[in-house]
Amino acid sequence: MWRSVSIGIGGIVLLAWAVLCGDVRAQRNVPAAARSVLEEREKLNATVWHPEQLAQQRETSITWLWDQLRLIEKPSQVAQEIVCEEWILPTHANHEVLGLGITRQRFSPPEEGKQSTLSKAGLLEWLAGLEAAGWRLRESELHHTGFSPATDGEAAVSVVGFLFHMERAGVRSALQGKAEIVWKGAPVRKVRAQSIRVKTCRVIRGGAQPAFVRAGTFSRREKEFQSAHPVLLHDLDRDGDVEIVLPRWNRCYDNDLAGNTPQLRDRAFLQHWQPQEECGLLADVNADGYVDYLTVVKAQGLTVYHGDAIGSFPHPGRVLFQSNQIQAPLAMTAGDIDQDGDLDLWLTQYKPSYVGGQMPTPFYDANDGLPSFLLVQDDGRFHDATEAHGLGQKRWRRTYSTSFIDLNDDHHLDLVVVSDYAGVDVYRNDGRGHFQDISSSFQPNRLFGMSHCLADFNQDTRLDLLTIGMSSSTARRLDSLGLGKADRKDYQTHRAAMGYGNRLFLATESGFVQSPHNDQIARTGWSWGTTALDVDNDGDRDIYVANGFRSGKSSKDYCSQYWCHDLYTGNSKENQNLVPVFAESMLALNQGLMSWNGYEHNHLKMNVGEGQFENVAYPMGVSFEYDARVALAEDIDGDGREDLLVSDYQFLGKGFQSTFHLYLNRLPLENDWIAFTLTPSPKHQVLGARVLIDTNHGRQVHPIVSGDGFLSQDAYSAHFGLGRNGEVTAATILWPNGETTELTQRAINQRHHIVLD
């Protein structure tokens, strides 16, 4: 949810270190004004938040268990330390084949005749049998999602969500579900329970050979920015494959992975590079048919570097727009909103919370950040048209992603805005570049918005909208306890929606509705980037989500402190008295002793049909335990399978550092496919276009957009899986203004490079 202005997107922890803390060892000596706030928090812990404090005492045991499991491969070694004489496990399951050699077992809740009750000795014997068969624990998660305090005659009870990734020769399994712990006695560091009952469980199993293999890692070099977002994909040299561009490191990786000697050749991206912010966009700004690079150069403003026919940027940057209000630019999208033949821009900013002792207020509808700008182009010049074109009211959002896209098929580019501390805002274009706020038609639209993607997820030929946000087990636990401050009942009202997680809005004839199966994709963790891909070319869209915020030495979670105290502390105005309050509360976090939504694994949600999804990330080899941010999908090596580019964002004590990993898809190529790469021309702006194909299995659609992924940009390409014995009977480009271009290039199992006059 939070980011740094000058060093990167490091968020609260970095801000607390760089802006709030100074020397963290000195923060124990807080000023009197700050001390009174901290003392008030302690009083609230003893009153309003007392049940949550009891939950935190029990969570100490859960944290201990998770920390131990992360360090070993044999769970029996940890189970020996658990005091519990009754383990209740479900035994009845239905078996399903999902495809790609992956199966699913879904166990029914334990009930008489369909459960197994084990003593501790029986559990250890069962685990020993698994380990003797070669099973090893590779990754795990434990989340304290529900709690009931002890009452007269009744013990305290916790509900814990679990995820275990297990492997043995030839098999990878992911076990996910919920367990109920009936506690025994007073809280202690280790788990001591009357019983542990597995309430729900499903097992996803696949081959031990991962579908994706790491083919390259791009790391920071000396004197480069620690944070290198954004990452951009584009066929700069027009040779039919996609280059990887890291502008803040001034690197472009020329792609020759399909050559006789596969390689990515590193060269300078800009010949006249200047230090720049974490926003960037590749688009043909001057409509000469060659893509340009847009960014905000530090202390100068919105700047364009014009490109040439061979994918180089030989000229110094030219400033397009300046404003002293541009302080923390983050996301950009481009499109011809008024159909005058040139591109217009929407530039958003992000104001980090905590800085200066301010917090976004209200946390569910904050409009108190730095302004966004609608920059309309006329004869090569850009002017601020935000207010005049209807986007002034909510321009102060703290926005992470945004896209111009035609959502209602009227051939005008609408605007999607996804913001932290708010959610989803959608604006309808009247055809002249003026916008009407229709956000209320997307319900529920509250979330800690990080990114989004657009794809036809239910195969009805309409573009759906997937929005990514933070899911919080702490928020769910506080809701189950009914806790909250009496003077902010609105915060309790909106807490469940804000902590829910991702939302998939399906397009219908009458508008957008949330998917009836949304729970299957909602709670992926503290989620950041996302991308839609057809991982196996079967003709439907799968979803990849990057997760995790800050992983420290322990999995102990800071989240309770945020939801109980930070959220209610201060308001939109800076208050220097609160700076040491936040620094003191984050002391252990800044020292790396604890986590904030740490060790959360990435998800690959396989589309299993009928609008439903299943997480197959671990069997496919793409779960990863590092804190991830960017997620991009593209067939980078040109073999017909979409690959993944994922960023790792590691806190090093003085800021976060970017690392990028390229994972190549090595699934057996059993299905057919076709792909198109579009090149802009003086007559056709590619951004906002759609590629449609008609096949012997139905119609598919793929948008060409910008600004959707988290601090990243997809290539101007459309990849379609065709299933087995696929055939493309028609291929069409639908331009933003409603014009169409029929494509004669329809040969399958090829990438077609489309260059238009």
Phi, psi of 260 (to 5 degrees): -65, -30
pLDDT for res 113: 64
65-71 contacts at long range (C-beta below 8 A, 24 or more positions apart): 65/142, 65/190, 65/191, 66/140, 66/141, 66/142, 66/555, 66/599, 67/554, 67/555, 69/137, 69/140, 69/142, 69/164, 70/140, 70/555, 70/599
pLDDT for res 460: 96
**Side chain identity, residue 626:** Y
**Side chain identity, residue 412:** H
* β-sheet bridge partners, residue 733: 691, 741
* β-sheet bridge partners, residue 667: none
pLDDT for res 187: 94
Task: Kindly compute the dihedral angle of the four CA atoms of residues 52, 54, 55, 58, in this order, to the nearest 10 degrees.
Answer: 160
With left for phi above 0 and alpha for psi between -120 and 50, is residue 163 left, alpha or beta? beta
* β-sheet bridge partners, residue 274: none
Say if strands 643-651 and 193-206 run parallel, antiparallel, or are unpaired: unpaired
Q: Exposed, middle or buried: residue 192 (CB in 10 Å: 0-12, 13-18, 19+)?
A: middle
CA distances from 478 to 146, 229, 468, 495, 524 (A): 8, 35, 22, 9, 19
Q: Exposed, middle or buried: residue 310 (CB in 10 Å: 0-12, 13-18, 19+)?
A: exposed
How many Cβ atoms are within 10 Å of 367's Cβ, its own excluded? 18
Q: Which residues of the chain have pLDDT under 70?
A: 1-28, 112-113
Say if strands 464-469 and 503-508 run parallel, antiparallel, or are unpaired: antiparallel
Tokens of 439: 């956000």
> Which 3 state secondary structure label does DSSP give 140?
strand
pLDDT for res 60: 97
CB 174 within 8 A of CB 203: yes
pLDDT for res 615: 98
How many Cβ atoms are within 10 Å of 277's Cβ, its own excluded? 22
How far is the C-alpha of 421 from the C-alpha of 446, rounded, in Å? Answer: 8
pLDDT for res 651: 84
pLDDT for res 93: 87
CA distances from 566 to 177, 423, 449, 570 (A): 30, 20, 19, 8
Q: What is the DSSP letter of 584?
A: H
How many Cβ atoms are within 10 Å of 754's Cβ, its own excluded? 20
pLDDT for res 23: 36
- Which helix H or strand E contains 474, and what residues bound it? helix 473-481
Strand order in the sheet with 542-547: 527-533, 542-547, 603-609, 612-615
CB burial of 250-276 (b: ≥16 within 10 Å; e: otherwise) equals bbbbbbbbeeeeeebeeeebbeebeeb
- First and final C-alpha spacing in the chain: 44
- Which helix H or strand E contains 330, and what residues bound it? strand 329-335
Contacts of 623 (CB under 8 A, 6+ apart): 139, 165, 174, 601, 602, 603, 604, 617
- Note if the bond before 230 is cis, omega within 30 degrees: yes
pLDDT for res 4: 31
Q: Which of 582, 586, 623 is nearest to 603 (CA)?
A: 623
Q: Exposed, middle or buried: residue 510 (CB in 10 Å: 0-12, 13-18, 19+)?
A: exposed
Tell me the whole-structure pTM to 2 decimals: 0.95
Handedness of CA 415, 420, 422, 424 (dihedral sign): positive
How many Cβ atoms are within 10 Å of 237's Cβ, its own excluded? 15
